[in-house]
Structure 1
């Protein structure tokens, strides 16, 4: 399946975005320009002063003290003004970059998750890391040099014309070569660096896929194939980088040719004009110095064109994200209650391969429903559709009688992948409700059973957690997420295997914490342990993308259907369909021991998909909590 990458802005749109960012900083921008202008203009006095020194010496006078003092004053003035102006330009650029980063982060966080997943995490992460770094480097190094070089080039040309307009002729000889070189390089560099950014994004995506799914890769013996994919993606990125180096080498060779032609022309012109008596030796020397002084700013500007092109490509990628449409709260309607209704819902990640089909399901306000089924049955897809992460391919989803797309956001989704943000634990909690008082934080922690270990931390809720701070256990991180849920207080909450990775020591405690966090709200639990399903108000069994059973735990056991078979295999009893050990083995692969010590087989997805057999949920030993079979995406 081809990924639809996030947008890349056009050149015109990128320039307009820069203008929008600079508009509030017009005052500092003009100040920086004027200071740099003054410093550059002062520096241009060096060439005519040195020319005057030549004329004085050739005229037989040795009184050059005043000229030397003047040169020293010019050097000091130029140095001070240039340093101050450069710092002002760098500060201006950093401010613009900071605003751009904030815009990018705001839009990235509000992008529909379906859009981010469709582009791949590598595309977004490469923009927020590599592209931001490229622009930051350009702002700190290339931007001040480019600004100073542009002023030096312009004022130097004016200075040459003031000496004698005929000295401009050799400058004009070099100009076409410079113009052609820039156009030749720019046309190739833009495409090359844009392709390089895409290649780096694809490389990062492949690394994320291979490393993130390392367990699955090893389990299915796909290591060689994934190494080959990483090698191929890396090879594409390296090839593009080498092409960039070859392009840059050719670029500098053309610049050297322009310098040779221009300087040779100035020297020949000076020889002819001095010989004809039109100008003095000092004036010719000043013109040669002016042109020679053009080498550094011209070469610096053109050499930094490489960085500018790279930064331009990166900037277009960031602006592209800031221009992506994001959902707004305007026009949204608040649901009448916390009920959820799905009518004829279907969803396909790939055309022709539905993950869900014709799902009709209703969750009453305040009802707690457990979703069970085998890996690949469609549980997580169904949960993400209700949470608004994905949009259904067919059918409708309504919250409190309001279509999901038009409803005020009122659904929270918690998965087993919980992130602990770096910083004080209190700040981590307040992400859910910024105005929460300390008492609110403590109450939320107490509700999910976390208050005891939080008070035992070195500084309580002020303890720094996350990267570089106090390390939380898996169970503690999940309790932190549940406390955020309590603080956010959404009418509808979805827990997608939120206690799956807690282990035997914390699973039951987390299940109790999850139950308390769901009190007073509509709850949907994607259950990996059937004990969770047993305590729910209702159990919904999903198989092959369809709802095949729905009812209370007791009623489904009495019906002797699919859920009863799963429960019998899970608990190790002869209840439900009266499964014996042999029949339990035929359900699939893997083993588990129930409380009664009866060894049973855990249903495997491939065997469970046999005709008439349906699918069975991956089971776990009730005591060890150790997965008996791999847990793939639901």
Structure 2
């Protein structure tokens, strides 16, 4: 945990200036608290004696002894008001600047976490539960905020108060004060054992909270399926199991946290009782000095107990930090070599040569060799699980071939930066991804500096301009999160228009029509018929009817190409492609006849 907290503190380094101002406020609070303790005894003598005489006899505030009685009567209350005002100003400074410090630290953590999430491979993220990722981004980051806001502030403020009050105690009576303060180190050993238990249970609680968030995300995303199969009771039982485990961990941690101040309270009471009995038997001090001493001791125990209480935030931040750093420490499978250079624009071909790739134990590509020639439309077809989409992941550098080569114009792409290779491609996937905002914003995502004329031209090519202009505000119409206000065909045509606007060298269509209804598919097919001619394109399709006009088709099975040729050539071969074509075009008729 110490190493994790040390890493978290690195986020504080750029903001030491803000923390220093907050520390000034804490120092003022500490000094004012010490002044209160020091003045408690003289205040009692002042009250009992009726003014100046109490200060003169106690000799605790000598400068008041020279004042006339009338001046002393209002002078001491004024001193108390000034001390109180200073303490209030110190608190204001402390809380404002600690809040600013905590927010800046959390902003940096969230920014780095967001950058890491968006920089990881889609395959890496697919291994994580989305709800758990969201939990790390929310509850785990909030734990870091609480530690920055309360633990760092309390450690600084209360440490200052402990030092100042300890000085007051020892200045009044080194012997008696030392005995009373001895309880603080004595409580450290059992408290540390309890805090280890808090850390363990807090880790369990954070993990279970991620499980709860993960199930909630899955449940909301699969609500239709859950209700269709009457699975509410099973989901509730699973949710209740996670909730009980979370409750058990949190309650156990709360018990351990509560035991720390309880232990301090018992030991402090014992020390005070013993000191009082000893002081009464030997009369070591004047009553007003003893009162100041007791006040200072009571006040010094308070920040010590507070330090024990806020340590829970440090423990929670440690547990949260472990989960955050587990994500932040993930490395993308494709990292640039130190001497990598930007890739030149594609001019001849892209080649995957004898490529092998596996997801764990599952072999996705097994000696695949395929070439994408510039200016041609290349199609990959075949049944599910043949490795077609893995080809897309390799081309866009989401993954690295485990064996074999990936060549761009005859040069191994490892010589180039991954970002410059990705710039060669524009991707349209099976699930059209649009962002909350206007149509214009979504199309410009591919090219932020595109003029409106360029955007409209791309939309016309993708057969999207007509339905866009029919919308209430045309290109400025807001389409809602993920484009929920549009049909599937409209969303996909916007994605195609966005890809056209990018003007990338290679257009990749990964099952772009497979999830559409027949009418939407016809709309998208018309758009593709206008987009593809003359372009370098890779079309991955399950439905063969969508790729009959491709320049070359490769049939994939079990991670390798088993047939290649044009549509007509492959039908003439009467091989695997012909069998697939027959099944897709004649299958429904035969089943209907049966």
TM-score tier by shorter-chain length is 0.7 to 0.9
**Once the 2 structures are TM-superposed, how far is the Cα of residue 64 of structure 1 from its aligned partner?**
5.2
Aligned positions of 1:439-450 closer than 5 A: 439-450=453-464
Aligned positions of 1:516-595 closer than 5 A: 516-518=530-532, 521-572=535-586, 584=587, 592-593=588-589
TM-score between both structures, scaled by the size of structure 2:
0.84
> Secondary structure of the equivalent of 1:535?
coil
Q: Deviations over 1:197-217 (max 9, x none)?
A: 344445555666677577889
**CA-based RMSD:** 3.4
Matches of 2:538 and 2:227, distance apart in 1: 32
Residue number in structure 1 paired with 2:447 = 433
Matches of 2:220 and 2:172, distance apart in 1: 66
Aligned positions of 1:117-266 closer than 5 A: 117-119=126-128, 121=130, 123-140=132-149, 142-201=151-210, 204-205=213-214, 227=234, 235=241, 238-239=244-245, 241-266=247-272
Picking from 89, 97, 108, the partner of 1:99 is: 108
Change (3 A) 1:174 1:443: farther
| Conserved 8 A contact 2:201-2:252 | no
| Conserved 8 A contact 2:462-2:528 | yes
Residue number in structure 2 paired with 1:418 = 432
Aligned positions of 1:10-89 closer than 5 A: 11-12=2-3, 14-16=5-7, 18-19=9-10, 21-59=11-49, 61=51, 65-89=74-98
Q: Does 1:366 align with 2:359?
A: no
Picking from 390, 398, 402, the partner of 2:411 is: 402
| Conserved 8 A contact 2:430-2:510 | yes
**Once the 2 structures are TM-superposed, how far is the Cα of residue 141 of structure 1 from its aligned partner?**
5.1
Picking from 352, 355, 362, the partner of 1:342 is: 352
Matches of 2:456 and 2:291, distance apart in 1: 79
> Secondary structure of the equivalent of 1:541?
strand
Residue number in structure 2 paired with 1:283 = 289
**Once the 2 structures are TM-superposed, how far is the Cα of residue 187 of structure 1 from its aligned partner?**
2.5
**Once the 2 structures are TM-superposed, how far is the Cα of residue 305 of structure 1 from its aligned partner?**
1.9
Q: Deviations over 1:41-90 (max 9, x none)?
A: 22332222222111223446597543333223322221222022211111
**Once the 2 structures are TM-superposed, how far is the Cα of residue 307 of structure 1 from its aligned partner?**
2.3
> Secondary structure of the equivalent of 1:505?
helix
| Conserved 8 A contact 1:14-1:319 | no
Residue number in structure 2 paired with 1:112 = 121
Matches of 1:36 and 1:87, distance apart in 2: 11
How many pairs align? 566
Change (3 A) 1:208 1:361: farther
> Secondary structure of the equivalent of 2:378?
strand
| Conserved 8 A contact 2:443-2:498 | yes
**Once the 2 structures are TM-superposed, how far is the Cα of residue 126 of structure 1 from its aligned partner?**
3.2
Matches of 1:186 and 1:109, distance apart in 2: 36
**Once the 2 structures are TM-superposed, how far is the Cα of residue 147 of structure 1 from its aligned partner?**
4.2
TM-score between both structures, scaled by the size of structure 1:
0.79
Matches of 2:223 and 2:357, distance apart in 1: 27
Matches of 1:164 and 1:423, distance apart in 2: 70
> Secondary structure of the equivalent of 2:289?
helix
Q: Does 1:599 align with 2:577?
A: no
Matches of 1:86 and 1:469, distance apart in 2: 43
Matches of 2:400 and 2:219, distance apart in 1: 27
Matches of 1:549 and 1:468, distance apart in 2: 38
**Once the 2 structures are TM-superposed, how far is the Cα of residue 553 of structure 1 from its aligned partner?**
1.0
Matches of 2:358 and 2:550, distance apart in 1: 29
Matches of 2:83 and 2:443, distance apart in 1: 59
> Secondary structure of the equivalent of 1:494?
strand
| Conserved 8 A contact 2:23-2:157 | no
| Conserved 8 A contact 2:437-2:479 | yes
- Of 304-313 and 245-254, deviating more is 245-254
> Secondary structure of the equivalent of 1:524?
strand
Change (3 A) 1:208 1:252: closer
Q: Deviations over 1:465-519 (max 9, x none)?
A: 3339973332232223223322333222321112233323321221233444445
Q: Which runs of 5+ in 1 are unaligned?
A: 1-9, 573-583, 585-591, 602-634
- Of 174-183 and 462-471, deviating more is 462-471
**Once the 2 structures are TM-superposed, how far is the Cα of residue 121 of structure 1 from its aligned partner?**
4.3
Matches of 1:482 and 1:398, distance apart in 2: 26
Residue number in structure 1 paired with 2:511 = 497
Matches of 1:561 and 1:417, distance apart in 2: 31
Q: Deviations over 1:276-315 (max 9, x none)?
A: 4432222222222223234443333322222221122223
Change (3 A) 1:472 1:293: farther
**Once the 2 structures are TM-superposed, how far is the Cα of residue 349 of structure 1 from its aligned partner?**
1.7
Q: Which runs of 5+ in 2 are unaligned?
A: 53-71
Q: Deviations over 1:513-546 (max 9, x none)?
A: 3444445542121213322111222222222333
Residue number in structure 2 paired with 1:616 = none
Picking from 483, 487, 490, the partner of 2:501 is: 487
Q: Does 1:381 align with 2:374?
A: no
Change (3 A) 1:416 1:93: same
Which is helix-richer, 1 or 2? 2
Change (3 A) 1:214 1:286: same
Change (3 A) 1:400 1:518: farther
Change (3 A) 1:48 1:263: farther
| Conserved 8 A contact 1:270-1:284 | no
Matches of 2:223 and 2:370, distance apart in 1: 35
